[in-house]
Structure 1
Amino acid sequence: MPSALPIGDPVPADGSLPVDGVDAAIDFGVYVHVPFCRVRCGYCDFNTYTADELRGVRRDDYPASVAAEIGLARDVLGALGPLRPAQTVFFGGGTPTLLPGAALAAMLGGVRDAFGLAPGAEVTVEANPDTVTEALAERLATAGVTRLSIGMQSAVPEVLATLDRTHDPAGVAAAVRAARAVGLDVSLDLIYGAPGETLAQWRASVETALALGVDHLSAYALIVEEGTPLARRIRRGELEEPSDDLQADMYELVDDLAEQAGLAWYEVSNWARDDAHRSRHNLAYWRGADWWGFGPGAHSHVAGVRWWNVKHPAAYAQRLAQGASPAAAREVPDAAAAELERVLLGSRIREGLAIRDLAPEARHAVAGLIADGLADPGDALRGRLVLTRAGRLLADAVVRALTA
């Protein structure tokens, strides 16, 4: 089942924020959570729901609920100053493409009407391969979508079966062709380290993905989340626990193969052909920009305030129907928490962290990180702390060294 929400402070019914204004120079982005899936994958603890878990909720009604929250966001942010246009919009899930293209277009239109889209805005839709048709791709492109992020996960049927993924791996190529035909940028998502997956199988998946000529690749190590069916199967001895050493080998392999294909890393788990094909939406998270997350369980961050919505779609729709904010709770991180987050996120990206902006103790730790092969000495001479490949594999240890 989905993981529990954090505990925070109460949110007023009107959703107003405890700040006097927002910084107009900080980019603003929009995330739209679509919590619907045909099947719950055994490893997933995201806030998603299959049809039999949606008692009293109709998918057809979902865009209207999101539209109501968009109206609330416009009022809340408008009270703090001129509205900023959205630099990025990201439809995630779940499986956004389980909704008709017209529904996704309507929600994007609501964002456009409320805030405006900045010139050249990046608009991404996540999709399972088996939901992408030529007609859907064309409808999304017409609506203003610029980018499709396809959940490939693996090219090996046995690995997909272990992950409870139901798509035919051959359908990935068809989905990519459909997106390319209407001018959409395409990213492929992969997962490595599934129980029983071999290095040779992982190589086959990466090579298959890169052979499709995409300009962006994401590769995430499988994390066994407590409470998921996968965790229970491992606990019963039906599947092996993923090996940290094998996952490290898999990371090095995807990094090598991506580089050979002309894609460079720009975040620990992401590679792009050039700066223009990086995920600008995700970079906004890593750089501490502002965003409003719409939908059940969605998280938001504006002017240093974080909040998160109630999780179940029925509770989400009910609150909005009553004219109330769907936020479950919020927090304003203190200075120490904010600095930890800045280091945690900033160290993960290729531009790294400005050494002069680190705390004195952290600046003293940089030499040790270089000596251990975790930070790049050339970048350090230029005033930046940038992780080496070994540092990316041990990113958590780097953060501990910088924040101890």
Structure 2
Amino acid sequence: MVSTLPVGEPAPADGALPADLAPDPTIDFGAYLHVPFCRVRCGYCDFNTYTSSELRGARQDQYADTVLREIAQSRQVLADAGALRPATTVFFGGGTPTLLPAGDLGRMLAGVRDCFGLAPGAEVTVEANPDTVTDAVAADLAASGVNRLSIGMQSAVPRVLAALDRTHNPENVATAVASARRAGLDVSVDLIYGAPGETLDDWRRSLETAVALEPDHISAYALIIEEGTKLHRQIRRGEVPAPDDDLQADMYELADGTLAAAGFDWYEVSNWARGEAHRSRHNLAYWRGTDWWGYGPGAHSHVAGLRWWNVKHPAAYAQRVTSGQSPAAGRERPDAASRRLEDVLLRSRIRDGIEIAELEDSGRAAVAPLIADGLIDGPQALRGRIALTLRGRLLADAVVRALTA
């Protein structure tokens, strides 16, 4: 485990929100449930995950009960703040949520439903390693109220999977998709491009294989080398090459063209869906800055501009929750200027974009040069909205810098 928590002010032991916080009852509320268990640690992974040898006293078979306690705590905190709302989205992430029995995931979902309710048509997603999905697992998840499965495919090329330390059988991706379909679940597949030694032809094979599975949604993320990971150490020692920025740009353009030709529309820089109905509403909630509570070790939450994060290790998390304390390790409340900057950073990455009128004077002045450089869509800008072009998506960070200078 190599990621670090932010530096913020201490969180109160009871998890109470500040008295002057004023949550908006019309803002969507989502629940993120972190399942931190993995069979092996992938070489590129910087997430808060643990293999069995790293648990040091935390018990996987007791995890659902611990999360249920935090859910009950959160209901009291939000009720005291006048912020109770039904969940519009629920997302089980990890880690590998499907390492837990489907019944445990179902009990956690029932905890959210019992404490908050689920909004009509709520999106409920579970991430899954393809080797852990069977007909029985998919059917049990669907019966509990899950309606969307996000399958970690990453690549269709065995040597690319090996370079990423992914241990699943690539043939099992199709099996997992078929099981999800038989259970009536929407299906998303996740891909990663730019692994050491991966060629453009390798990436084309992965894209074509993913499209042939006929999922509803595809995510494609450029490999990022996080400091402290196994892959970072391998690159530093010269054992494998670092990702090539130009090759990754070519891979992104190939992904966008291939997916568009197959009927997928981009709606966020790294995400494509077969129509608006299949977009990940939970992920869009992050980009749009709505409210969510993150449950589990290391999980982050956001309500009305206040952000907080839980202690990282599952044992420390369980100790706090079972003793009746909040598991929050710290929190922060960014000022108005910081929130405006973050709003532009996040919302400019989605297809819906951001209204030009919401920018500062300097940002509005940057729009015309960005159109001239082919980074912002001109017709959309004339209608008052920032929308990235394909080139703009490749240079999204540069666009944000110009809009917030």
Residue 76 of structure 1 corresponds to 77
For residues 215 and 20 of structure 1, the distance between their equivalents in structure 2, rounded to whole angstroms, comes to 38
Residue 134 of structure 1 corresponds to 135
Q: Moved runs in structure 1, 4+ residues, more than 6 A?
A: none
For residues 30 and 269 of structure 1, the distance between their equivalents in structure 2, rounded to whole angstroms, comes to 22
Residue 4 of structure 1 corresponds to 4
Contact preservation (8 Å) 2:24, 2:83: no
Residue 346 of structure 2 corresponds to 345
For residues 292 and 335 of structure 1, the distance between their equivalents in structure 2, rounded to whole angstroms, comes to 22
Give 1:21 deviation, angstroms: 3.3
SS in 2 for 1:113: helix
Q: Which amino acid aligns with 1:382?
A: R
Q: Which amino acid aligns with 2:401?
A: R
Mapped pair 1:17 → 2:17: yes
Residue 328 of structure 2 corresponds to 327
Give 1:114 deviation, angstroms: 0.3
For residues 20 and 308 of structure 1, the distance between their equivalents in structure 2, rounded to whole angstroms, comes to 17
**Structure 1 gap segments, 5+ residues each:** none
SS in 2 for 1:87: strand
Q: How does 1:55-74 map to 2 (within 5 A)?
A: 55-74=56-75
For residues 321 and 106 of structure 2, the distance between their equivalents in structure 1, rounded to whole angstroms, comes to 21
Cα deviation per residue 1:261-294 (whole Å; 9 max; x = unaligned)? Answer: 0001000000001000000000011111000000
Q: How does 1:5-404 map to 2 (within 5 A)?
A: 5-18=5-18, 19-81=20-82, 83-404=84-405
For residues 373 and 80 of structure 1, the distance between their equivalents in structure 2, rounded to whole angstroms, comes to 46
Question: Structure 1 residues 1-10 or 31-40, which shifts more?
Answer: 1-10
Cα deviation per residue 1:106-146 (whole Å; 9 max; x = unaligned)? Answer: 00000000000000000000000000010000000000001
Q: Which amino acid aligns with 2:256?
A: D
For residues 402 and 105 of structure 2, the distance between their equivalents in structure 1, rounded to whole angstroms, comes to 44
Give 1:2 deviation, angstroms: 2.7
SS in 2 for 1:367: helix
Cα deviation per residue 1:311-366 (whole Å; 9 max; x = unaligned)? Answer: 00000000011110000000000111101110000000001110011111100000
For residues 2 and 140 of structure 2, the distance between their equivalents in structure 1, rounded to whole angstroms, comes to 31
Give 1:20 deviation, angstroms: 4.0
Give 1:196 deviation, angstroms: 0.6
Contact preservation (8 Å) 1:210, 1:258: yes
The alignment's C-alpha RMSD in Å is: 0.7
Q: Which amino acid aligns with 2:172?
A: G
Contact preservation (8 Å) 2:23, 2:83: no
Contact preservation (8 Å) 2:349, 2:396: yes
For residues 42 and 332 of structure 2, the distance between their equivalents in structure 1, rounded to whole angstroms, comes to 31
Q: Which amino acid aligns with 2:17?
A: L
For residues 265 and 281 of structure 1, the distance between their equivalents in structure 2, rounded to whole angstroms, comes to 16
Give 1:83 deviation, angstroms: 1.4
SS in 2 for 1:356: helix
Q: Which amino acid aligns with 1:236?
A: R
SS in 2 for 1:400: helix
Contact preservation (8 Å) 1:95, 1:128: yes
Q: Which amino acid aligns with 1:75?
A: Q
For residues 331 and 71 of structure 1, the distance between their equivalents in structure 2, rounded to whole angstroms, comes to 23
Q: Which amino acid aligns with 1:4?
A: T
TM-score w.r.t. the length of structure 2 is 0.99
Cα deviation per residue 1:1-25 (whole Å; 9 max; x = unaligned)? Answer: 3311011011111100113431111
SS in 1 for 2:187: strand
**Structure 2 gap segments, 5+ residues each:** none
Contact preservation (8 Å) 1:299, 1:309: yes
For residues 67 and 2 of structure 1, the distance between their equivalents in structure 2, rounded to whole angstroms, comes to 27
Contact preservation (8 Å) 2:287, 2:350: yes
Cα deviation per residue 1:224-278 (whole Å; 9 max; x = unaligned)? Answer: 1010000111111110011000000000000000000000100000000100000
Contact preservation (8 Å) 1:309, 1:328: yes
For residues 403 and 83 of structure 2, the distance between their equivalents in structure 1, rounded to whole angstroms, comes to 37
Q: Which amino acid aligns with 2:7?
A: I
Aligned length: 404
Contact preservation (8 Å) 1:2, 1:48: no
For residues 20 and 298 of structure 1, the distance between their equivalents in structure 2, rounded to whole angstroms, comes to 21
For residues 347 and 2 of structure 1, the distance between their equivalents in structure 2, rounded to whole angstroms, comes to 29
Q: Which amino acid aligns with 1:358?
A: L
SS in 2 for 1:340: helix
For residues 336 and 159 of structure 1, the distance between their equivalents in structure 2, rounded to whole angstroms, comes to 42
